[in-house]
Chains A and B, each alone.
Chain A
Amino acid sequence: MALMSKMAPAAACACRSAFLKPSTSVIPAIRSSHAAVFRKRPGQLIVNRIKDVCHFYFIGIGFLPVLFCLAYNHIVYGTCELKDYPTEGPAPHHWQFERTPIRQWWAKWFGVSDVEHHERNLAYYEKQGILARWRQIEQRVKHLEGERWDYKGWSYQPVSSTWVDYGRWHALRMRDQYEQHGHYAQ
């Protein structure tokens, strides 16, 4: 390729068949030529970095782990089998009502038992019902107090059963678990 280089005037002279030319006029002609010596191009650093980032996040830790999980699931577990309701032993767990292994796994470790949710709601409504009945009885008591002019004494202070229970609990803790003396190293 040295023969074709534009920076070699002797080679250039030799290429121009038999006519000899002075080197002082050949080099300027080559340098003023239309042909490019170094061709300009846009930068590639940012574009390559974007490709690397997309390849890593979308494929490396996005698509490939999902593909691996699916392949592992299909090779090891396959599909779930619909069985009759078990007559012996404990009742089925809530995740065993899903019909694919992946959904069963997700429901087992990340899902919420719908039966537990239902029972919790029922317990909440039952408690609200109890409180409503208490409030009703309390209102009736107050109404009867007004009707019968049977008000409580002027020095009466209301007693809270919750605080009474808490005081008893605190007293028992003081009696049973309080350390009267410290254990000091002698």
Chain B
Amino acid sequence: MGEGLVEQRQADDKASWDAYWKVRDIDSRGSIYPRFRYYAHKAFDAPATWFRETIVQPLNNKNRLPYYHRQLTRVPEIDECGVNDKACFYEANEQYRLDKMVDGFILQTLRQRVDRCMLYNNPDHSPCAKVIEDMEENELNFFMKYGELGGESDVRDAYMKQKHRMIWERRHPEIMDERAAKLADHKARLANGEFDYSFWKKGMFYQDKKNYEPPYEFQMSKSALEGDKPLSKDWEYYKKVSQDPEFDKDQGKKSDFRLF
């Protein structure tokens, strides 16, 4: 029909409100105290509803202001800028900042979905495999672009990080092939109904190799923004690892923790 969404929503609200009072009217018939309570509540509601429908809503519909969702044109990225072109760098940096903000919001939304799904399906989280998979994949991608750069990074830092990663990937094709094979295998098993959370994170935070610190002499050896940390400060451990191939083959890279 020709009505707008606002008029439809107002009509729906009015219909539901009338239905509510109709139910209360029918429900309180033939009784004494509930009927008088209905009259009392109706006495409070009638003037407010009359004022809203007679005075407020026509004024709102007449004076309603529009607001728009901003549409920003894409500008050249940092790789198209000249070395000394500060204006181009400024534009690319603004675009990088807004992209980072939007990506952060997307990741926040995905995390909220995971939280709500796990809360709803507690303690069996198997229905949440899909949303957990989406969240973990996007979190990894976010980390690949923005992670470990700090809060004051600009577009040049992200550009250099990407360049260094590309160089590293080119120098280690065997590792990249192994990773691609593992990812394909993980996707196949996920499609088959088997979800392995340890593919993304090896376990709980205390088993996460990236953040692992031994319980004794607990002092942070590196900033939390840095990369991996050593598994242990015990030099004899690393000596055994180098000498004995059978000693601690996992080296903290696997875990027995199961999500479900």
Known: A122-B87, A125-B86, A128-B86. A81 touches B94 (CB 8 A): no
A80 in contact with B64 (CB, 8 Å): yes
Of residues 2 through 41 on chain B, the ones whose CB sits less than 8 Å from some CB of chain A are: 4, 6
A128 to B87: give the CA distance in the assembly, Å: 9
Question: Among the listed B56, B84, B91, which residue makes an inter-chain contact with A122, where contact means beta carbons less than 8 Å apart?
Answer: B91
Would you give the shortest CB distance from A105 to chain B, in whole angstroms?
9
Question: Among the listed A77, A85, A125, which residue makes an inter-chain contact with B63, where contact means beta carbons less than 8 Å apart?
Answer: A77
Cβ of A21 within 8 Å of any chain B Cβ, yes or no, is no
How many A-B pairs with Cβ below 8 Å? 73
A78 in contact with B60 (CB, 8 Å): yes
Of residues 34 through 91 on chain A, the ones whose CB sits less than 8 Å from some CB of chain B are: 74-86
**B71 cross-chain contacts in A, Cβ below 8 A:** 85
A81 in contact with B67 (CB, 8 Å): yes
A128 to B89: give the CA distance in the assembly, Å: 13
Cβ of B69 within 8 Å of any chain A Cβ, yes or no, is yes
Cβ of B65 within 8 Å of any chain A Cβ, yes or no, is yes
B91 in contact with A80 (CB, 8 Å): no
**A84 cross-chain contacts in B, Cβ below 8 A:** 68
**Which residue numbers of B lie inside 8 Å of A, CB to CB?**
4, 6, 55-56, 59-60, 63-71, 84-87, 89-91, 94
For the A-B complex with A78-B59, A83-B66, A122-B91 known, give 13 more contacts whose Cβ atoms are closer than 8 Å.
A75-B55, A75-B56, A75-B60, A77-B63, A78-B56, A79-B64, A80-B64, A81-B4, A85-B71, A97-B70, A104-B65, A125-B90, A126-B86
Give 27 pairs: A residue, B residue, CB < 8 Å, sorted on A. A75-B59, A75-B60, A76-B60, A76-B63, A77-B59, A77-B60, A77-B63, A77-B64, A79-B64, A80-B64, A80-B65, A81-B6, A81-B64, A82-B68, A83-B66, A85-B71, A86-B68, A98-B67, A99-B67, A118-B94, A122-B91, A125-B86, A125-B87, A129-B84, A129-B85, A129-B86, A132-B84
